[in-house]
Amino acid sequence: MKILVPVKRVIDYNVKPRVKADGTGVDLANVKMSMNPFDEIAVEEAIRLKEKGAATEIVAVSVGPAKAQETLRTALAMGADRAILIETDEEVEPLAVAKILKAIADEEQPGLVILGKQSISDDSNQTGQMLAALMGRPQGTFANTVEVDGDSVTVKREVDGGLQTVKLSLPAIVTTDLRLNEPRYASLPNIMKAKQKPLANKTAADYGVDLTPRLKTLKVEEPAVRQAGVKVADVAELVGKLKTLGIAD
């Protein structure tokens, strides 16, 4: 079975994003970038399935600028077999990404597509669901556990009330949650080997996908600074303040 793993280049999760002075977006100049953490979990899960003998090949895919090759090389160093970069300098919306992934999946015919449930850049949480709808494939979102058995995959999903278990017929789409696994670090020898693994460069036009945005960002602002709290002398004063705020009757 072949596994397709989409990955995204985002601001490193340890870096605090800065808004541009003109409010047109997030400032990416001289900012450390890395693989989206949820996608890193997806790559790790694909590698584990291959190590168990449930998969034979892992193909990493990214849609983004030329520098996204670094993200794909990280996936290759972790254990992916080859990579595809759909190069664009435009900001790509989830639906366009899903259409590109569908076109790639139609070519590659993967038994399983594993991707992060969302990116920490826009938090859309849409691409996996849109891809499943476009392909007409079963989906297991927010995966806590993934087990492949023959022509089906069992996914334990993280839901508000706990865990929900679903059994999907392959081919299927799975999106990963934080507690699915702990991604491995790429070793230096594997980082060197990754430079020799195949990485194909494509464009959205190669797949007949229009990247024209359907949404327009009017303004980006940093969240308001949280106001400092106050100390109260006793419970009576606390209740009084809560009444003033309309929280308590």
What's the mean pLDDT in 61-72? 96
Who's near 202: CB < 8 A, 6+ residues apart? 84, 85, 86, 87
b (16+ CB within 10 A) / e for 55-85: beebbbbbbbeeebbebbbbbbbbbbbbbbb
Nearest-angstrom CA–CA distance, 230 and 247: 16
pLDDT digits (tens, 9 = 90+) for 94-138: 999 999 999 999 999 999 999 999 999 989 999 999 999 999 999
Q: Is pLDDT at 66 greater than 70 in this prediction?
A: yes
The C-alpha angle with vertex 102 and arms to 80 and 127, in degrees rounded to 5, equals 80
Q: Report the CATH number that the domain containing residue 100 is assigned in CATH.
A: 3.40.50.620
Q: What is the pLDDT of residues 120-129, one digit of tens each?
A: 998 999 999 9
Residue-range definition of the domain harbouring residue 80: 2-245
Per-residue confidence band for 29, with pLDDT thresholds at 50, 70 and 90: confident
Q: How many domains does the chain have?
A: 1
pTM for this predicted structure: 0.88
pLDDT of the residue at 248: 59
Instruction: Summarize pLDDT for 136-171 with one digit per residue, the tens.
Output: 999 999 999 999 999 999 999 999 989 999 999 999
